[in-house]
């Protein structure tokens, strides 16, 4: 079982892509072994054991064979990147963590997912 950190995200979402690209740049500068994967490939989804719909709904992170999603995934990712550890510490505080999870789960992630569905619908002939 590898302890390598891997991130699965929706690269077709401009907001998601911009944020994850930022983390990828920081990871590259620090020579960190973090893999960033777009959910666009069927093999990728099969490897993760996640449906395309579930993958598009939120950020996922795999470490040590375990998959995390949402704010817990962000916290683990931020802990891996030295410049982001402060944010992981703040967001992991009990009250802040609770509020961040609720905001992500019930506002941000659903909003981004609906936006994703609208963009996909526009692409269809």
Report the 10 Å Cβ neighbour count for 39: 24
Nearest CA to 113 among 3, 10, 24?
Answer: 10
Query: Residue 61 above 80 pLDDT?
Result: yes
Distance CA 79, CA 9 (A): 18
Q: Give pLDDT, residue 2.
A: 65
Neighbouring C-beta atoms of residue 33, cutoff 10 Å: 12
Average pLDDT over residues 27-51: 90
* pLDDT more than 70, % of the chain: 97
Flag whether pLDDT at 124 surpasses 80. no
Here the tokens at position 69 are: 């999603």
Closest by CA to 9, choosing from 64, 43, 49, 52, is: 52
pLDDT of 125 reads 57
What are the domain boundaries of the chain? Answer: 5-123
Contacts of 96 (CB under 8 A, 6+ apart): 90
pLDDT for 40 equals: 81
């Amino acid at each position: 079982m590898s302890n390598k950190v891997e991130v699965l995200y929706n690269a077709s979402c401009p907001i998601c892509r911009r944020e994850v690209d930022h983390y990828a740049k920081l990871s590259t500068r620090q020579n960190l072994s973090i893999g960033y994967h777009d959910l666009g490939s069927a093999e990728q989804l099969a490897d993760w054991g996640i449906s395309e719909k579930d993958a598009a709904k939120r950020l996922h992170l795999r470490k040590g064979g375990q998959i995390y999603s949402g704010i817990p995934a962000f916290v683990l990712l931020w802990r891996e990147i030295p410049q982001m550890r402060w944010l992981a510490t703040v967001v992991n505080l009990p009250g802040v963590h609770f509020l961040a999870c609720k905001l992500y789960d019930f506002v941000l992630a659903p909003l981004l997912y609906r936006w994703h569905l609208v963009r996909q619908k526009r692409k269809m002939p």
